[in-house]
Amino acid sequence: MFKRFMRSSAVQKTLGFILASYMVLVKYTTRWTIERADMSAPVIGNGKGVIALTWHSRFLMLNSAWKKTWQLPHVLISLSRDGALVSHTTHFLGLKTIRGSARKAGSQKGKGGSAALREMAGALNRGACVVITPDGPRGPRQRLGEGPLRLSKMTGAPILPCTFAVKNRIQFKSWDRFVLPLPFGRGVIIWGTPLYVPSDASDRDIQKYKDQIENEMNIFLSDADRRLGHDPIAPDMTRDARS
């Protein structure tokens, strides 16, 4: 009964509005330190498409790093019922959504992946930003699949990682160690190194780029957490990252 109530459209729209308002509160009451902005400057706000990545656990800080005047973000969100809440939240933040996710290895059940891929490619070709949490919606934690790299190879858009950490927070014991940022504290935003995947990149090249991005994101995340007084969260090494 409770789950059915929580998943009703009216309840999820209300919760989405509350969550979006909370994200705006965190954005404007946190004293953010932005690092490596010189790395992101060449690929944002230039009218061309960009693929932005951040780990699922830091989703509630995404809007703190981005200005919609750069490129309008299109956020990739799963087709799950829980994804509907995120979709409503994204709507109230004034962003666009793309619904779909990769199918699980060995599964024949589609999850809108092909349609989502077409939508993402179209958005990038129009000069938008596509936002992906590459370890969502169910993990493995802080492991990067090949999807964003294949998208970059197909469209020529650069991949731009971004990591977040805050001093005041609540951390959950979920699969991703989800972080609820609290307002009126300090925070760090670290831009990663932009990476273009050549159109002729081989599978070996894709693997090399994947490891490069994943390692950098986890190094930056651990460093930011430590500096703000938190133990770093290790990536989930029990399962292979999804392709």
pLDDT at 1 over 70: no
| pLDDT per residue as tens digits for the range 93-135 | 999 999 986 544 434 444 567 889 999 999 999 999 999 999 9
Report CA-CA distances (Å) from 153 to 91, 127, 150, 193, 205. 29, 16, 5, 17, 11
Q: Rounded to an integer, what distance in angstroms lies between the CA atom of residue 242 and that of residue 173? A: 22
Q: Are strands 186-191 and 159-166 parallel, antiparallel or unpaired?
A: antiparallel
Question: Does domain 2-227 bear CATH number 3.40.1130?
Answer: yes
Mean pLDDT, residues 216-233: 98
CB atoms within 10 A of CB 168: 16
Least confident piece of the model among 42-56, 92-106, 163-177, 225-239? 92-106
Residue 242 parent element (H or E): none
Report CA-CA distances (Å) from 125 to 18, 101, 129, 156, 230. 33, 20, 10, 9, 40
Cis peptide before 137 (omega within 30 of 0): yes
- Tokens 């469209």 belong to 155
Q: Where are the domains of the chain?
A: 2-227
What proportion of the chain, given as a percentage, has pLDDT over 70? 90
User: Is residue 186 within 8 Å of residue 166, measured between CB atoms?
Assistant: yes
Cα 19 from chain centre = 16
CB atoms within 10 A of CB 21: 13
pLDDT for 104: 46
pLDDT for 103: 46
Mean pLDDT, residues 143-166: 97
pLDDT at 7 over 70: no
Q: Is the pTM of this model over 0.95?
A: no
User: Is residue 90 within 8 Å of residue 75, measured between CB atoms?
Assistant: yes
Phi-psi category of residue 160: left, alpha or beta, with phi > 0 → left and psi -120 to 50 → alpha: beta
pLDDT for 68: 73
